[in-house]
Amino acid sequence: MDSSKGINVDMRVRIGALELRNPVMTASGTFASGKEYADFVDLSRLGAVVTKGVSMKPWAGNASPRIAETASGMLNSIGLQNPGVEAFCAKDLPWLATQDVPVIVNVSGHSLAEYVAVAERLDSESAVDALEVNISCPNVDEGGMAFGTDCTSAADVTRAVRAVTSKTLIVKLSPNVTDVTEIARAVEAEGADAVSLINTLLGMAIDTDTWKPKLARSVGGLSGPAIKPVAVRMVWQVASAVSIPVVGMGGIMNAEDAVEFMLAGATAVAVGTANFVDPGATMRVVDGLEQYCRLRGLDRVSAMTGAVSR
Ligand SMILES: Cc1cc2nc3c(=O)[nH]c(=O)nc-3n(C[C@H](O)[C@H](O)[C@H](O)COP(=O)(O)O)c2cc1C
């Protein structure tokens, strides 16, 4: 809240049982577990920290090169590299618990059983406020996106995870589908408290000197400003198809981008690739959103959610 320019803007939003002090989160995989950014970002000014993806066992990720720059974006094929849920709980979570910010842990799996095992393990941790189940990673051969591109599999994962956790459950959707609203409806019907979208778009880049793909895995996930119009369109479609909150992301670089997502129907937003360009990007978006509301005479940020369709 800031009354310096005459208007108090209520920046709070609600996602499931979680009340966030503002709508700005970090996008999974672009902010590690937050510690690495603590010199640049006051974590207590974020709506929530969304951690990198966590699986049951440690994953080494894919072979390098696994990052390639593209026009207005980047391709990555990291492949959910992480030290496993036990190491996460032992090393990252205790530090996050000392920070005054809601913690949303991104859950990965190669199989339905792995999603369930990770969710069950995290359910016992009081420092975890919510789970974001990633059924949309394009960079693994088994699991990941395979669960998010088919209504039945998306519903199965959501139902199974719902059964083992009472924490706020967000399901992260893939844009690599014909009709994203079908998947959103399927996970809502199985008890998801919110959906987040979009994960990266499957893409490819080729080196014209070597005639080889720029990524060792050939294909990867495209993120950054290049995908923003696709993401805004999907958020708009999903927001009118479900009644649970939508967390919008994909190419948010500044507060105006975040406003666009909220007008399309997002209750909250996540900042991803922008963190690599400017580690303080999330703070600019938080400040800019509040400033935008004040200039427009809005006394609550949530008034923007879905306004384009009203
Ligand atoms: C390097 C990198 C790693 C990512 N890792 C994850 C991950 O572990 N889990 C996940 O759900 N999404 C992951 N994502 C997807 C982002 O969270 C986000 O959905 C996507 O990048 C679109 O947002 P952006 O354009 O703002 O980056 C990753 C993205 C990048 C660029």
User: How many Å apart are CA 68 and CA 86, to the nearest integer?
Assistant: 31
For residue 285, is it within any domain? yes
Q: Which residues make Cβ contacts (< 8 Å) with residue 150, sequence separation at least 6? A: none
Buried b (16+ CB within 10 A) or exposed e, 246-277: bbbbbbbbbbebbbbbbbbbbbbbbbbbbbee
Q: Is 81 exposed, middle or buried (0-12, 13-18, 19+ CB in 10 A)?
A: middle
Q: How far away, in angstroms, is 284 Cα from ligand 1 center?
A: 19
For residue 7, is it within any domain? no
pLDDT tens for each residue of 73-98: 999 999 888 999 999 999 999 999 99
Name the residue with the closest Cα to ligand 1, atom 21: 223
Locate all alpha helices (DSSP H) within 163-309, ordered by sequence.
180-189, 228-241, 255-264, 274-277, 281-296
In ligand 1, which atom is closest to the CA atom of 76?
1
Answer whether 250 contacts ligand 1 (Cβ < 6 A): yes
Name the residue with the closest Cα to ligand 1, atom 28: 29
Answer whether 148 contacts ligand 1 (Cβ < 6 A): no
In ligand 1, which atom is closest to the CA atom of 132?
11
Q: How far away, in angstroms, is 12 Cα from ligand 1 center?
A: 24
Answer whether 203 contacts ligand 1 (Cβ < 6 A): no
Residues involved in catalysis: 137
pTM of the predicted model as reported, rounded to 2 decimal places = 0.96
Q: How many domains does the chain have?
A: 1
pLDDT tens for each residue of 5-55: 578 999 999 999 999 999 999 999 999 999 999 999 999 999 999 999 999
In ligand 1, which atom is closest to the CA atom of 73?
25
Answer whether 25 contacts ligand 1 (Cβ < 6 A): no
Q: How far away, in angstroms, is 1 Cα from ligand 1 center?
A: 30
Q: How far away, in angstroms, is 2 Cα from ligand 1 center?
A: 32
Answer whether 272 contacts ligand 1 (Cβ < 6 A): yes
Give the range of the structural domain holding residue 213, as residue numbers without chain letter.
13-309
For residue 141, is it within any domain? yes
Q: How far away, in angstroms, is 3 Cα from ligand 1 center?
A: 35
User: How many Å apart are CA 297 and CA 281, to the nearest integer?
Assistant: 24
What CATH number should be reported for the domain holding residue 141?
A: 3.20.20.70
Answer whether 199 contacts ligand 1 (Cβ < 6 A): yes
For residue 2, is it within any domain? no
For residue 4, is it within any domain? no
pLDDT values of the chain reduced to their tens digit, one per residue, 310 residues? 444 457 899 999 999 999 999 999 999 999 999 999 999 999 999 999 999 999 999 998 899 999 999 999 999 999 888 999 999 999 999 999 999 999 999 999 989 999 999 999 999 999 999 999 999 877 676 667 778 889 999 999 999 999 999 999 999 999 999 999 999 999 999 999 999 999 999 999 999 999 999 999 999 999 999 999 999 999 999 999 999 999 999 999 999 999 999 999 999 999 999 999 999 999 999 999 999 999 999 999 999 999 999 8
In ligand 1, which atom is closest to the CA atom of 251?
25
For residue 68, is it within any domain? yes
For residue 40, is it within any domain? yes
